[in-house]
Amino acid sequence: MYELFLTALIEQGDLEAALSVLSGICGMQSWHSIQRILYFQCASATGRPAGFQNYKSLDKPLRRDTEWFLKELNAALSRQSFIMQARYDVFKDRDMGADAKEMDFDAMSGILRWTEFPSAPQGRPHITHRKKIELWEQKKIWSLMADNSCMFKTEVIDECYRFYREDVEFCLTRQFFLRPIEDYTPVEQRQGPTAPPVSQLPAFEDLTPVDAQNRWVLQVKAHVMKENDLEASRKAQGQLEGIRAELEGVFDFKSIDRKVHDTRVAQPQQNIQVLPQRVMLGKV
């Protein structure tokens, strides 16, 4: 699947107004969700592509959508090493705070997400275009990642207000640190191995926003299900252009450098010193 999206930044003080506008144009109240996102680096010990072929931890027989996802993912990770995400729904009153229990990532159903480096803009720099694969309602993601030597790197909390108008998705999101800020420095600069996921999520009110100004990111998304479907791609671009014109003066949709969404892991080269790798936060 390919997703195309517009991007705008929303100040915290403008959140309620933005929600009202989106509710009006979509004819619905927002769907509010909070997710815990784990980031994994999928690469061999040498940093080179290693594929994704070990599924021993998954229950058999595999679902048809799972088989397709794993085939596509193996093809992508055989060409290039990537950072991937595992996403789990959490609730403030049940999963966060002093009474929260440690989460069992194998027992929980989650979303495994891979996104490719966005395509170069072609006449529409304000539209980001990238391939995305998501495996929904999947258990044992933690063991699956370990089976394929994908190393846990860091984690964040993601808050989202979501709306739909026909097949277009409107997402207002912001992210929060889960650890002390020093735990988000490049892995190579830390003392000792990467710490495991936190055992108990703090109260939501105690979290620190990733963005120092506590801004929200608005993404307006259209999807193309089949690769190389030019007609569907043109239709999606037309939908986004129409929405951009409709909301002109309300939201300022920006041209975003595609490197902001770069999930690739740089491959080491012989006789060349490799710079420290960073796990970029705020990727949605």
CATH number at residue 202: 2.40.320.10
> Is residue 269 domain-resident?
no
Q: Which two tokens stand for residue 180?
A: 């002390």
- Tens of pLDDT, residue by residue over 10-34, are 999 999 999 999 999 999 999 999 9
Cα–Cα nearest to 34, from 103, 109, 93, 88: 88
> Is residue 7 domain-resident?
yes
- Tens of pLDDT, residue by residue over 223-262, are 999 888 889 999 999 999 999 999 999 999 999 999 999 9
> Is residue 36 domain-resident?
yes
> Is residue 266 domain-resident?
no
> Is residue 94 domain-resident?
yes
HEC assignment per residue over 119-143: CCCCCCCCCEEEEEEEEEEECCHHH
Q: How far is CA 176 from CA 33, 43, 63, 166, 282, in A?
A: 14, 26, 33, 30, 9
For position 272, what pLDDT does the model report? 46
> Is residue 272 domain-resident?
no
Does the pLDDT at position 278 exceed 80?
A: no
Contact between 276 and 187 under an 8 Å Cβ cutoff? The reply is yes
Range of the domain at 46: 2-261
> Is residue 203 domain-resident?
yes
Does the pLDDT at position 63 exceed 60?
A: yes
Domain count for the chain, please give it.
1
> Is residue 282 domain-resident?
no
Does the predicted model carry a pTM greater than 0.85?
Answer: yes
- Tens of pLDDT, residue by residue over 181-233, are 776 765 545 556 778 999 999 999 999 999 999 999 999 999 999 888 889 99
